[in-house]
Amino acid sequence: MKRLLHIADLHFGREHKPLVDAFIDYCVDHPPDLIVATGDFTQGARRREFAAARHFFDALPAPVVGAPGNHDVPSRALDHRFFTPWRRFERALGGRVVPRLETGPLVIETLHTARRAQMRLDWSLGRVSRGAAASLASQLDQSEQPTKLVACHHPLMAPGGLSGRANTKRGADAAEILASASDLVLTGHLHRTFALPVVGDTHVCWFVGASTTFSERTRVEPAGFNEIHLSDDMLTLVHHESVDANRFVPARAFKLPRRPGTEPAAPVAVDPEAVEPG
Ligand SMILES: [Fe+2]
């Protein structure tokens, strides 16, 4: 059994500090094997926001894997945006937030879906190329680890499909490619928790989204994070939700079967209090 925490859309600069402390406390009390951070570490890619994010990650007792989001590209410093879009992210978080990791039975890879500019009006939306997805799938295929994970900021699948804020260009193509090569694809951006399956011949790949962990910029649901227990035949997703804006409680839990056939490839609700942390 391995256990990871999935956090997203931290938006330092608009973070709610009591929840930042509550998340750190939870990690210290129940250290996970891995933390996956799916982008938008900052609100405006300012140096002080990245410094706050670094301070936060340095307080966590686990390795962190992550990829930046659209908010992590400087929006006002246009020279940085166009010529060195990821320099601030890499200088502040590089070495602490790593792009790939092999740990025990897991391998996790990340994909960049945010762009400095696009041939469409809304540059906050995601974009991924078939080539990048195929190359990442090939890396996963070559890995000997039996459980394969992918993390990126923008959704490759979403409730209701890839429209509106979920309109990730080539996202559906990438989802198809990655579903065959991985077991779990973690994303952010929508500030919404979901779990959607793609059923293959030998395994089920789950596409899981997270709400914002502690930003004041909530959308359809309160701030929260995902805790995922991984075993050979099942993923157990526990969604922790903020209460009174100063603490997290386990609010919902789902069993996500990893094998097709005997069990329905759909989340099975369970009592979150019945899932042991740590
Ligand atoms: Fe985003």
- Residue 91 confidence class, pLDDT cut points 50, 70, 90: very high
What number of other Cβ atoms are within 10 A of residue 118's Cβ?
Answer: 14
Per-residue pLDDT at 1: 60
Task: Tell me if residue 92 falls in helix, strand or coil.
Answer: helix
**Over the Cα atoms of the chain, what is R_g?**
17
Question: How many angstroms separate the alpha carbon of residue 223 from the centre of ligand 1?
Answer: 15
Return residues with CB closer than 5 A to ligand 1 (ion). Answer: 40, 69-70, 189
Question: How many angstroms separate the alpha carbon of residue 98 from the centre of ligand 1?
Answer: 19
pTM for this entry = 0.94
- Rounded CA separation 80/127 (Å): 20
Question: How many angstroms separate the alpha carbon of residue 65 from the centre of ligand 1?
Answer: 17
Per-residue pLDDT at 212: 97
Question: How many angstroms separate the alpha carbon of residue 126 from the centre of ligand 1?
Answer: 8
Q: What's the length of the chain?
A: 278
Question: How many angstroms separate the alpha carbon of residue 278 from the centre of ligand 1?
Answer: 29
Q: What percent of the chain has pLDDT over 70?
A: 94
Per-residue pLDDT at 269: 79
Per-residue pLDDT at 262: 60
Question: How many angstroms separate the alpha carbon of residue 218 from the centre of ligand 1?
Answer: 12
Per-residue pLDDT at 208: 98
Q: DSSP string spanning 232-257?
A: SSEEEEEEEEEETTTEEEEEEEEEEE
Question: How many angstroms separate the alpha carbon of residue 188 from the centre of ligand 1?
Answer: 7
Question: How many angstroms separate the alpha carbon of residue 229 from the centre of ligand 1?
Answer: 25
Domains for the chain: give ranges and CATH numbers: 2-274 (3.60.21.10)
Mean pLDDT of the chain: 92
Q: Across residues 229-258, what is the average pLDDT?
A: 93
- Rounded CA separation 67/208 (Å): 15
Residue 33 has pLDDT above 70, yes or no: yes
- Residue 81 confidence class, pLDDT cut points 50, 70, 90: low
Per-residue pLDDT at 278: 57
Residue 112 has pLDDT above 70, yes or no: yes
Per-residue pLDDT at 219: 77
Question: How many angstroms separate the alpha carbon of residue 12 from the centre of ligand 1?
Answer: 13
- Residue 85 confidence class, pLDDT cut points 50, 70, 90: confident
Q: Across residues 232-251, what is the average pLDDT?
A: 93
Question: How many angstroms separate the alpha carbon of residue 25 from the centre of ligand 1?
Answer: 26
In this structure, of 15-24, 62-71, 85-94, 201-210, the range with the lowest mean pLDDT score is: 85-94
Question: How many angstroms separate the alpha carbon of residue 8 from the centre of ligand 1?
Answer: 9
- Rounded CA separation 40/8 (Å): 7
